[in-house]
Structure 1
Amino acid sequence: MDILKQPLITEKISAMNERGVYGFIVDKTAKKPEIKNAVEKTYGVKVVSVRTMRYAAKRKTRYTKTGIVSGFTNAFKKAIVQVADGEVIDFYGEI
């Protein structure tokens, strides 16, 4: 099971990166200690705290030529990770 799905790269999270706070989309069943271990192992940093948020699926409706199509967006879980002072995660290093 892959715990870290993708890093969050938004304006708000990018502003928090300067203070050592990073965001990730994580597996819906991942617990805080699992997220902490995954970030430490993947990026080689010391994690101080982990905060998580669950987002429910939202109903979406589209009006198409063939009729009305209804469905849901994907549910997901977001993790906000605080790393130790002086440590940095570089998401753009591989580019």
Structure 2
Amino acid sequence: MKTITTAPIFVTPVTTEKAYGQSQKNIYVFNVPLTANKQQIKNAVQSQYDVTIVTIKTLVQSGKAIRFSRGKNRYPGSTSRTDSKKAYVTLADGSSLNIFGVEETDKKATEEKK
């Protein structure tokens, strides 16, 4: 059998309000390359952040169609933005990432208030 060696991929966390809400449930969102599969994403997250992963869900967000014009009324056209891929990574209990700068004591304090 052939051994296939692949270049390591680099994943970047998404820091939006929706991603922050997901992180309260121990789910973290990452932007990943379009060519990456779940196993490569799992290896990249584990090596970069040293956490234990339970599940990974991926989705490809197709690029939004946009109109453009070069000049006032000439050469109208349309194109689309580039596609992007996101990975929703669920971590094991006891594992967490400090992406948003919120300490564990702040999380516990907000849970007690609810």
Q: TM-score range by the shorter chain?
A: 0.7 to 0.9
> Gaps spanning 5+ residues in structure 1: where?
none
Identity percentage of aligned residues:
32
2:92 to 46, 59, 84: 84
Compare relative contact order (CA 8 Å, sep 6+) and give the higher one, 1 or 2. Answer: 1
Q: Report the CA distance shift for 1:64/1:2 in structure 2 as closer, same or farther (over 3 A).
A: farther
Give the superposed CA RMSD.
1.9
- Worse-superposed segment, 39-48 or 57-66: 57-66
Structure having the higher Rg: 2
8 Å CA contact 1:23, 1:79 repeated in 2? yes
Counterparts of 1:26-37 in structure 2, within 5 Å, are 26-37=32-43
> C-alpha displacement at 1:11, in angstroms?
1.5
> Gaps spanning 5+ residues in structure 2: where?
1-6, 102-114
8 Å CA contact 2:20, 2:100 repeated in 1? no
Q: Which of the two has greater strand per residue?
A: 1
Deviations 1:26-78 (A, max 9, x none): 01011111101110100010011100001222321035644435221110111
Count matched residues. Answer: 93
Counterparts of 1:26-65 in structure 2, within 5 Å, are 26-63=32-69, 65=71
8 Å CA contact 1:4, 1:24 repeated in 2? no
Kindly provide the amino acid, as one letter, of the partner of residue 26 in structure 2. Answer: G
